[in-house]
Amino acid sequence: MKKHTKIYMAFHGYQVPEDVLCEYCGAMATGIHHITFKGMGGNPRADCIENLIGLCRPCHDKAHTGEITEDELYELKEIE
């Protein structure tokens, strides 16, 4: 399991990846997404919980193409 996935799971108290739901649409999440991409300038806070969000594959793809914006994802994180 990748470092950022462990951080996300521990913060939310998830025991198995199958417990994680997409924070955008509510479907079963398939991975933990970096809202601000890890490779964008070598962000030292890339793996902080504020930058991590569980997403299903369709929403993850939309986040990478910009169909779902970083601002929209950060707004979801503020709700928690």
Kindly report the length of the chain.
80
Q: What is the 3-state secondary structure (H, E, C) of 50-75?
A: HHEEEECHHHHHHHHHCCCCHHHHHH
> Mean pLDDT of successive 10-residue segments in the chain (80 residues)?
88 83 94 81 75 95 95 82
What pLDDT is recorded for position 78?
A: 74
- Please give the backbone phi and psi of residue 57, each rounded to the nearest 5 degrees, phi first: -60, -45
pLDDT score of 25? 96
Domain boundaries, the chain: 3-79
pTM of the entire structure? 0.82
